[in-house]
Amino acid sequence: MSKNSNNGNHPERDQYFKDRAGTDDARFHVVPHDEEGWAVKTEGEDKPDYKTKSKSEAVKEAKRMAEEACTMVIIHDEDGKIEEQYNFQS
């Protein structure tokens, strides 16, 4: 089995996000959620900050939240790959 298999076990990445959780460096991610929905999640947090059926609505809310927090938004596609980023850092 390949070392880079997609089994969800990424301890270094998970620790990176955990270290940023609750800090000013935490970024907002727009990610697929449930069957046909989208969510805005703060890095390192399991529970979504915002849920909707519409990706565009999730992006809009994530941008608002990131602008208010002076951080970044990272938009993921349906497969979880990074699609776009928006920087609201001062």
Q: Digits of tens for pLDDT over the chain (90 positions)? A: 333 333 455 566 455 455 554 545 679 999 999 888 999 999 888 899 999 999 999 999 999 999 998 999 999 999 989 999 999 987
Beta strands in the chain (DSSP E): 28-33, 37-42, 50-52, 72-76, 82-87
CA 52 to chain centre: 14
In whole angstroms, what is the distance from residue 90 CA to residue 35 CA?
36
Q: What are the extents of the domains in the chain? A: 27-87
In whole angstroms, what is the distance from residue 12 CA to residue 84 CA?
23
For the entire predicted model, the pTM comes to: 0.74
